[in-house]
Amino acid sequence: MSVSQKGTPLEIERITGSLGAVVSNVDLSRALSDLTIAKIREAFLEHHVLFFRNQSLSPLQQAAFGQRFGALEDYPFVRPLAAHSKIIPVIKEADERLNFGGGWHTDLIYRPSPPLGTMLYAVQVPARGGDTLFADSIRAYQAVSSRMQQLMESLSVVYSVKHVTRPTSDSDNEDQRSRSMPTTTDLEVVESTPIHPLVRTHPETGKKGLYFSRGHTDRFEGMTPAESKPLLDWLYNHMTQPTFTARFQWQPGSLAFWDNRCVSHYALNDYHGERRHMHRLTIAGDRPV
């Protein structure tokens, strides 16, 4: 697919059989035309996650690009950049062992109205490692039997972030604690337990997909945690099969933009001893149906 951006073709190249495309010949630091934004959004809906390389973005420029797709929202638990209140730093220092976003998950699924999408921009990356995996929940839903689809469509999931939110330990350094300690407002998020359908209809494409984040899950509505666990574990393993995934290798200046309504992701933690510094923003969405 290509579209002219002031005479330069905007190239969109699919990278796997499931999801993901690289978008080339576009400078995201500039004010893009409505036509260019429309084509990027079209590719976003088709491929679910887009990758842009060789960008040079200030926080203001990243936010300006993000706002072309919707209102930006706050992120709980991490203090935003001084340069922009909607962008958070995602940093793992060379001496830290835990990373941000490790494990398959869907961003902010524990909110009543989770985000439409996420944009992550690479400021500094390790020489190797630190890739991000993405999984297509629409293909995962389409791959199961019609009887299993019927069962899934009858289920809703109770979400909670309480069991994965904790104060950082005394062994964590001061900078890590200052970035991650909850505020009073964040505690309202911790106490909430929204319920979302396991099968979500995408509001723009009309396609059905699994909407699920194992690490934030408490149980199925109307079931106990023990009763829910076998199917929850099966769903996790099914959704993250390699056939449904794409893997992105970061470079400084790379930006990934994924559709949170039908994509799960996993930040790999295989670069101990090196620093990784990213800027992240989330675009507001609607209550899942």
Which residues are marked as active site? 105, 107, 265, 280
Question: Is 122 buried (19+), middle (13-18) or exposed (0-12) by CB count in 10 A?
Answer: buried
Structure token pair of residue 105: 């998950």
